[in-house]
Structure 1
Amino acid sequence: MKIVKRILKIVIALIGLLLLTGIITLWLDSSGTNYLKINKNESQFGNSYLIKNVNIIPMNQDTVLVDKMVYIKEGIIKKIADTIEVNGIQIFNGEDKYLTPGLIDMHVHVWDRYELGLYLSNGVTAVRNLWGMPMHLRIKEDAMADNIFSPAFFTTGPKLTGSEFVGDDNLNLSNPSEAKEKVILYKDRGYDFIKTYYGLDKEIFDAVIEQAKISEIDIVAHPSQKVAFSYHLNPQIKSIEHAEEIVQQPLQFDLDVIKLQPIIDSISQSKHTRYSTTITVFNNIYQMMMDDSILDSESLEFMNPLILKVDSENQFNRWFNAKQEDSTTVSRIKKQHDFHITIVKKLHEAGVTIVCGTDAGIGVTLPGFSIHKELAFYKEAGLSNYEILKTATINASQTHSMMSQLGTVEEGKIANLLLVDENPLVTLSTLKNPICVFVKGRKLNRETLDSFNEKAKNRKNLMASTLRYLENLAIGK
């Protein structure tokens, strides 16, 4: 009996030590992102001021408002005019630069708070996270409370899949009652949207849609192969994800433009449906196959170390082995990428609303930086600069009612803004390096934004990221 008690004491002590170690690890990681904390007493981070001598790209129309003043009060755009007089307020000189809405990435996977700074540094002032975990609810809470510099943060709950689509990151639904319960639960926990994924048959999918409508929560759909592709045009589904899913599901990998057109037509007839094509993440498969040393590239030092160690390496090995086994794999992937560009072109020509999403945070798709690559692909598809900018501003903000205060430079909108050197309607690449980023009116200069990049580069938070992922496995679903 004494031996048993002694063993129990040792076990309890070890558990306590592990818990303490975990708490310390998470605390140290949290302190590593203290640079994102907002000190509301520091005047340089105030959110009420005037901007003068600035040219505005409003994005509610294809124009430039030349030499305007903008009055920001408590993070809201209060007035835009030729002349504004407000006493006792700080004035920023726009120096004849260009003021645009902040960019919105509608398909990301966030793994730590360092990534928030990477998004801001690249002009992304709102993200839609599509792989919900408990840590995302904490980020959302801090962002909404103005405790941290962060893009406006919206997140789905965990991915809803059919029972046979097993994965530790999925919630496998087995019946309609369970599906309804999870929709209610995720809404109650504070998730903004429901994400549907592979393997949902019609009976379970119907239950998700029915309950989402009752619970007044939007659905974001990664198409399920268990229902017709047209099923995803339901009004409760606010956006469909991935151009590649058109290739893989209704086209069955047949890259035929004639067969594509009826699919495009059906999407265009559904006036509420928006499409997030995520061209970048698929193109990165091609990039991995073309560069055997890509995992050692400096750019990947911006990836979360857990993702780099697990997902990036696994994806690289998968495609490296594929091209070794079949030399035509590289050209096949390139042809499919080119067909995705055609899909974007056809969607746009048919009047389908495209929203910019990158799938950043997985594989070798970098947080923040990837949005500029995505926008460049839309240029390749034939969209004008104004039409391209719409995908990452007003189109995105109109997808969900809770995002309606974003996406344009208008009176009454949240002051999530970029100040850039050149007119992006002429030179799209100017968005890559904003002079300043405004987050709810708080101004971040280029020096601060560059420091966000440096802080995130080659970060050592593998263990903390693992613990947060284990938390999700334990209590997240």
Structure 2
Amino acid sequence: MKLLKRLLKIFFGIVGMVIIAAIIALGLDKMGTRYLKIKNVPASNNSTYLITNVNIIPMLQDTVLANKMVYIQDGIIKSISESLPDKEVEIVDAQGKFLLPGLIDMHVHVWDKYELGLYLANGVTAVRNVWGIPMHLRIKEDVNNDKILSPHFYTTGPKLTGPEFIGDDNLNLTSPSEAKDKVISYKDRGYDFIKTYYGLNRDIFDAVVEQAAISKMDIVAHPSQKVPFSYHLNPQIKSMEHAEEIVQQPLQFNLDTIKLQSIIDSLSNSKHSSYCPTLTVFNNIYQMMINDSILEAEPLSYMNPLIKKVDSKNQFNRWHNAKMEDFSVVDRIKNQHDFHLEIVAQLHKAGVPIICGTDAGIGVTLPGFSIHKELAFYKEAGLSNYEVLKTATVNAAQTHSIMNQLGTIEEGKVANLLLVDNNPLMELSTLENPSSIFIKGRKINRKTLLSFKEKAKNRKNLIASALTYLENLLIEK
């Protein structure tokens, strides 16, 4: 009996120390992102400004409105004119710079609050997170309650798959009734959208779509290989993800432009869904194969340390080993990436709305920074600069009704704005270094944005991130 008591004492002592260590790790992580609290950012409590001497790219048409004034009141664009309002207001002299809607990344994976600062620093003022876990509901609450500076934050629930286990990062559904219950639960808990993934068979897929319509939740679809590709052309599905899925599923890895045309036609005829190509994340497979030291490169210091240690390393090893076994795989991946550019060109030609998404936050795809690479790929595919900008502004904002207040500069819209030195209709690279941004009307200058990058670099929150993921496994499974 004495031995048992001693063992129990040791056990509970260890459990207690683990709990204390967890509390400390989470507390340190929370302290580490204090710089994003609105009260800690200079001028962040002010959301009323008059921007003068500014050239506006409204994204309503391919034009520049020269030398205008934009009056922002309580975070909303109240007027666009050539004269001052009657009341006194703080003036921001834009000095002939260019003002456009803040960028929107429609396919991200957020792992901590540091990444929110990285998105802002790269001109991204709204994100659609497409792998929801409980942490994201807390972030969403903080953002909506104006506790932290962050892009507008929208999130799907967990990734929904069928009965077959394909990884603990997915939610396995075993029956139509369970599928409906999950959709209802995600709506009640505050998730914005439903994310469908690999492995959904016809019965379960139908149940998800049916309940999503009843619950008024849009679906973001990573196409399932268990149903025909055309099965995703459903009015409840507002966007389909990844150009590579067109290659892998209906084309069966056959890079055939003639067969591609029929797929493009079906997408064009559906008239209710956008396409999110995520070219960057696939191209990064190629980058990993041609750069053996990519994990040690300076840009990877901006990745979440848990993701870098686990996912980045695993993905690198996978493709490095594939290259070692058969070097021709390098050319195969490069050729497929080039075909993805053709897919984007054909989608655009057919009038399918293209929305910018990067798949940032996994592998070696950097939060925030990657949007500039994605936009450059659309330019390479043949889109004009204006058409490229549409993918990350007005097209993105029109995908879901809850985002319609974003994406253009016009009276009544939320003042999520990006001020840049040069004209992005001529030079897309100017987006990479904003002069300042406005998020819900709050002005953040370049110096502060650069500090957000530095704060996120080489952060030490591996344990806190692991605990957050453990929480997800305990709650969602």
Deviation of 1:51 after TM superposition, in Å, equals 0.7
Q: Residues 425 and 324 from structure 1, CA distance in 2 versus in 1: closer, same or farther, beyond 3 angstroms?
A: same
Q: Which residue matches 1:387? A: 387
Equivalent residue for 2:23? 23
Matched, 1:75 2:75: yes
C-alpha separation in 2, matches of 1:44 and 1:208: 41
The structural deviation recorded for 1:258 is 0.5
CA distance in 1, matches of 2:199, 2:154: 25
Residue equivalent to 1:326: 326
Matched, 1:172 2:172: yes
Distance (whole Å) between structure 1 residues aligned to residue 53 and residue 45 of structure 2:
21
* 1:73-222 correspondence to structure 2 within 5 Å: 73-222=73-222
Distance 1:5 1:458 in 2: 44
Following superposition of structure 1 onto structure 2, how do residues 251-266 of structure 1 map, counting pairs within 5 Å? Answer: 251-266=251-266
Distance in 2 of aligned mates of 1:337 and 1:319:
15
Contact 2:229 2:250 in 1 (8 A): yes
C-alpha distance in 2 between matches for 1:468 and 1:40: 25
Give a deviation string over 1:387-413, Cα, whole Å, max 9, x none: 100000000000001101110111111
8 Å Cα contact 2:104/2:127 also seen in 1: yes
> Secondary structure of the equivalent of 1:95?
coil
> Does the 8 Å contact 1:288/1:316 carry over to 2?
yes
SS in 2 for 1:450: helix
Query: Counterparts in 2 of 1:449-464, with a 5 A limit?
Result: 449-464=449-464
Matched, 1:361 2:361: yes
> What displacement does 1:41 show?
9.9
* Superposition CA RMSD, Å: 1.1
Counterpart of 1:330, as a letter, is V
Contact 1:165-1:198 within 8 A present in 2 as well: no
2:11 equivalent in structure 1: 11
Q: Is the 8 A contact 2:424 2:431 kept in 1?
A: yes
Q: In structure 2, what residue type is equivalent to 1:244? A: E
SS in structure 2 of the partner of residue 354 of structure 1 = coil
Match of 2:62 in 1: 62
1:420 matched to which residue of 2? 420
AA partner of residue 57 (structure 2) = I
Q: Hey, what's the Cα distance between the residues in 2 that align with 1:13 and 1:88? A: 63
- The answer to whether the 8 Å contact 1:40/1:46 transfers is no
Aligned to 1:438: 438
TM-score (norm 2): 0.98
Q: Which residue of 2 aligns with 1:339?
A: 339
Distance, in Å, in 2 between the alignment partners of 1:67 and 1:160 is: 49
**For 1:270-294, what per-residue CA distance to the aligned partner results, in whole angstroms no more than 9, with x for missing partners?**
1111000000000000000010110
Given the superposition, is the C-alpha separation of residues 324 and 372 from structure 1 closer, same or farther in structure 2, using an over 3 Å criterion? same
How far is 1:45 from its partner?
4.1
Render the CA deviation track for 1:333-381: whole Å, top value 9, x for unaligned: 0000000000000000000000000000000000000000000000011
**Residue equivalent to 2:240:** 240
Distance 1:86 1:456 in 2: 42
Deviations 1:88-145 (A, max 9, x none): 2111101011000000000000011100000000000000001100111111111111
Comparing 159-168 with 245-254, greater Cα deviation is found at 159-168
Change in CA separation of 1:44 and 1:263 when aligned onto 2, cut-off 3 Å: closer
Change (3 A) 1:412 1:307: same
Tell me the amino acid that sits aligned with residue 92 of structure 2: F
Per-residue CA deviation, residues 167-205 of structure 1 (Å, 9 max, x unaligned), is: 111111111000000000111111000000001011000
TM-score, with structure 1 as normaliser: 0.98
Q: For the structure 1 residues 159 and 41, does the alpha-carbon distance in structure 2 shift closer, same or farther, using more than 3 Å as the test?
A: closer
For the residue of structure 2 that corresponds to 1:127, the secondary structure is: strand
* One-letter amino acid of the counterpart of residue 114, structure 2: Y
Gaps of 5+ in 1: none
How many residue pairs match? The answer is: 477
Separation in 1 of the partners of 2:269 and 2:382? 22
| Corresponding letter in the other structure for 2:233 | L
Aligned to 2:282: 282
Shift of 1:166: 2.7
* AA partner of residue 51 (structure 2): I
In the alignment, the residues of structure 1 paired with residue 202 and residue 177 of structure 2 have an alpha-carbon distance, to the nearest angstrom, of 13
Tell me what 1:474 maps to.
Answer: 474
What is the CA–CA distance in structure 1 between the aligned matches of 2:315 and 2:173, rounded to whole Å? 27
CA 1:44/1:124 → structure 2, altered by over 3 Å: closer, same or farther?
closer
> In the alignment, is the contact (CA less than 8 A) between 1:45 and 1:443 conserved in 2?
no
Ranges of 4+ aligned residues in structure 1 off by more than 6 Å:
none
* Partner Cα separation in structure 1 for residue 201 and residue 27 of structure 2: 42
CA-CA distance at 1:3 after TM superposition: 2.9
| CA distance, structure 2, for counterparts of residue 241 and residue 23 of structure 1 | 37
Deviation at 1:429, TM superposition (A): 1.0
Which AA in structure 1 matches 2:298?
E
CA–CA distance in structure 1, aligned partners of residues 86 and 12 of structure 2: 64
Amino acid of the residue matched to residue 406 of structure 1?
A: L
| Whole-Å separation in 1 of the counterparts to 2:386 and 2:165 | 40
- Determine what percentage of the aligned residue pairs are the same residue: 71
CA distance in 2, matches of 1:267, 1:44: 43
CA distance in 1, matches of 2:175, 2:45: 51
Q: CA deviation at 1:43?
A: 4.4
Q: Secondary structure at the match of 2:167?
A: coil
CA distance in 1, matches of 2:263, 2:315: 30
C-alpha deviation, 1:5, in angstroms = 2.9
